[in-house]
Amino acid sequence: MKKVLIPTKLDTVAANIFREHRLEVVQEPVTPLPELARTHTDAVALVVRSEKVGQEVLDTLEQLQLVVRAGAGYDNIDIRHARRRGIDVMNTPGANANAVAEEVLALILAAYRHIVRGDTSTRAGLWEKNQLTGRELTGKTVGIVGLGNIGQLVVKRMAGFEVSVLAYDPVVSADRATELGVDLCSLPELFSRADIVSLHIPETDETRGLVGTDLLESMKDGAMLVNCARAGVVDEAALRTVKARRNLLFCTDVYAKDEPGDKSVADLADVMLPHLGASTREANYNAARRAAEQAVAYFEQGVSACVVNRALPAGLDERYQVLAFYLTRVARAYLGAGVNPKRIETSFYGDLGHYQDFLLGSVVLGLSSDFDPLFDYQQAVHYLAEKGIDYQSRQVDDSKGYGNSITIDLMEGSRRTFGRCSVRGTVTEGSPMISRIDDFDRLYFDPTGHSLLVVYQDQPGMLAAITQAMADCGINIDDIRSSHDPRTGESLAVLKVNQRVPAAAVARILDQPGFKRVAAFTV
């Protein structure tokens, strides 16, 4: 009989499901996991919540085939070592989303109505009614940063309070925003207009410290910031500097480490909780049930949905995953930073047609850094649908002789009325290369680092104007490529530069006659 190890206080529904399917269950939430692993080395499945599953545990469980994280995040699991051992790791995305969304409303109402202080002072025999005048949520403008599962649920839960909702999400389509009843806007506009800002984004290299001095200074006097995402997305030093001056409210349940001890934001937070977002009976039940059902389907039917450390199939060069990511990043930048795509179409030529399901994750990652490229095809399609983005993988004509190459098309509207960008690339001499952007062919440029794309009406002096703009900013040009479209009389200049091109330089080029499109990006 196969054994499942559950070293956590997981709802009993998981153990019951396992036993119904004739699996032996050992659930011991008190015994430390390393000790438990040494006692049950024959376990084939491990279901955890926040327990750390490192190399020692993975090596001790000699027959382990599957680890399931009953929740969305899995940074407590060494997924790379698990892959080396041939162990699949799953998560249960979305199981805790509603619990977190409801916690956001609880924090807002608690801060607005002085719930914590009022409870404490009344229990102490005081009557501070005149000092506890609060504010109402109804009629406020709420800004949601990130419209994933949780962000969208926050929007829905806010509906009863008759609020206006602004949202920032560089991936969500305009149609999806309309369905949700939110107004998409830029991040600076959201922070400056909202009475309440709620964060629902992952902590990545791009988002770490995102909420800094400029955004905080732009907030309304007395506005509220709610962080139930990750501690690192808020610049704590900036918040400490700005909070009192702007009379801001700050509510949080996330910290650098989830453990007992002093919290560095204790002097800043108006309401703080010990990461209770997913700590509801319902969320625990949902995550436990999902974890058990996925594990049973894995062992009985070979279903590998939600595996987050998927191995590449034999024959697929991982550099084509990198290429798919680069192509989408370039297409996203070229389409326009303020334009949210509505549709993605992909073409996988040559042998890559056999692996398109494994490449879609990298395409989606090129759109948004909060998507994990190791997620499977089904998760990628679900993510796009959640954001209101249509997806189509086109049949290809390999007689065109493109070899092993990929084309990514992004569109911002319908098939008849849309802005569109088409980018093709391949792997040349061991490196991913961009070979075509729209009708500008034979580019073959390496998209890594800092780049500038400029479309202009071809006439004397145009390249000189571009290079002069770079020189005036102290930017050195490492490489330059140019392609001409005789049909339109337009050319595309591709510049590889030594530093990020500032927005002011982009605006300066666009302000000059003859320049049609300018996109600066960093990969």
Does residue 168 form part of some domain?
yes
- Number of residues in the chain: 523
Q: Is the pLDDT of residue 275 over 90?
A: yes
- In this prediction, residues 453-476 reach a mean pLDDT of 94
Tokens standing for residue 49: 């919540």
Among candidate residues 408, 245, 229, the one with its CA nearest the CA of residue 334: 408
Q: Tell whether 131 and 224 lie within a shared domain.
A: yes
| 522 bridge partner residues | 450
Among candidate residues 227, 393, 503, the one with its CA nearest the CA of residue 384: 393
> Which residue in the block uniquely carries the two structure tokens 């998209």?
447
- In this prediction, residues 279-301 reach a mean pLDDT of 94
Q: Tell whether 375 and 495 lie within a shared domain.
A: yes
Distance CA 77, CA 82 (A): 8
Q: How many domains does the chain have?
A: 3
Q: Is the pLDDT of residue 326 over 70?
A: yes
From 27-31, 128-132, 202-206, 345-349, the region with the lowest mean pLDDT: 202-206
Q: What is the CATH number of the domain that holds 348?
A: 3.30.1330.90
Q: Tell whether 68 and 142 lie within a shared domain.
A: no
Q: pLDDT band for 413, please (50, 70, 90 cuts).
A: low
Does residue 312 form part of some domain?
no
Q: Tell whether 390 and 329 lie within a shared domain.
A: yes
Does residue 311 form part of some domain?
no
Does residue 391 form part of some domain?
yes
Q: What is the CATH number of the domain that holds 262?
A: 3.40.50.720
Does residue 314 form part of some domain?
no
- In this prediction, residues 28-39 reach a mean pLDDT of 95
Contact 119, 172 (CB under 8 A): no
Q: Residue 452: phi, psi to the nearest 5?
A: -135, 125
Which helix H or strand E contains 298, and what residues bound it?
helix 281-301
> Which residue in the block uniquely carries the two structure tokens 């940063």?
145
Q: Is the pLDDT of residue 514 over 90?
A: yes
Give 406's DSSP letter.
E
| Global pTM value | 0.82
What is the domain extent for residue 148? 97-272
Percent of the chain with pLDDT over 70: 98
Does residue 18 form part of some domain?
yes
In Å, how far are 58, 135, 242, 277, 478 from 54, measured between CA atoms? 6, 47, 39, 25, 43
Contact 409, 331 (CB under 8 A): yes
Does residue 308 form part of some domain?
no
Q: Tell whether 224 and 337 lie within a shared domain.
A: no
Q: Tell whether 263 and 296 lie within a shared domain.
A: no
Q: Tell whether 436 and 350 lie within a shared domain.
A: yes
Q: Tell whether 196 and 251 lie within a shared domain.
A: yes
Q: Tell whether 498 and 355 lie within a shared domain.
A: yes
Q: Tell whether 396 and 258 lie within a shared domain.
A: no
Does residue 363 form part of some domain?
yes
Question: Strand 141-145 and strand 164-168: pairing?
Answer: parallel
Percent of the chain with pLDDT over 90: 80
pLDDT one-digit tens code per residue, 357-399: 889 988 998 888 766 655 678 888 888 999 999 999 999 888 8
Which helix H or strand E contains 252, and what residues bound it?
strand 249-252
Neighbours of 3 (CB within 10 A): 18
Q: Tell whether 20 and 115 lie within a shared domain.
A: no
pLDDT one-digit tens code per residue, 57-88: 999 999 999 999 998 888 899 998 999 899 99
Q: Tell whether 447 and 367 lie within a shared domain.
A: yes
